[in-house]
Amino acid sequence: EVQLVESGGGLVQSGGSLRLSCVVSGFTFSDYWMSWVRQAPGKGLEWVANIKQAGTEKNYLDSVKDRFTISRDNAKSSLYLQINSLRVEDTAVYYCARVNWPRFDSWGRGTLVTVSS
């Protein structure tokens, strides 16, 4: 069974940092692109970043490009998102998603990031 489990969210002040993690099981992690998608309270989904299988290519939403860093450790079947200079508008549930090109075919349950001013 494919499973993705996010962690690392929490309450942080504006300007702070967080590192989100996603541990996967049930599939060969190194075979897939992976993405982070977020959802602000009461809003739609928003694609944030993705990373190629070997980590050699990374792409970002323009508004997070200089503050977020996506990475992966294939040996640990883990995906990460380093979030710096947090803003109130970054408040959201952050989902880890597997990319089965070109769709997101498996999702975790998400981790909530709340940024206070």
Binding residue (CB under 8 A) for other proteins from 5, 46, 55, 112: 46
Closest separation in Å from C-beta 109 to other proteins: 5
Q: Which stretch binds other proteins (CB under 8 A): 12-20, 67-75, 81-89, 101-109?
A: 101-109
Calculate the dihedral angle through the C-alpha atoms of 98, 71, 82, 2, rounding to the nearest 10 degrees: 30
The reply to whether 41 sits near other proteins by the rule CB under 8 A is: no
Nearer to other proteins, 19 or 65 (CB): 65
The reply to whether 47 sits near other proteins by the rule CB under 8 A is: yes
The reply to whether 109 sits near other proteins by the rule CB under 8 A is: yes
d(CA 70, CA 53): 12
Binding residue (CB under 8 A) for other proteins from 18, 24, 108, 113: 108
The reply to whether 89 sits near other proteins by the rule CB under 8 A is: no
d(CA 112, CA 62): 21
d(CA 89, CA 87): 5
d(CA 72, CA 54): 8
Q: Which of 40, 69, 35, 74 is nearest to 54 (CA)?
A: 74
Residues near other proteins, by CB under 8 A: 35, 37, 43-47, 50, 57, 59, 61-63, 95, 102-105, 107-110
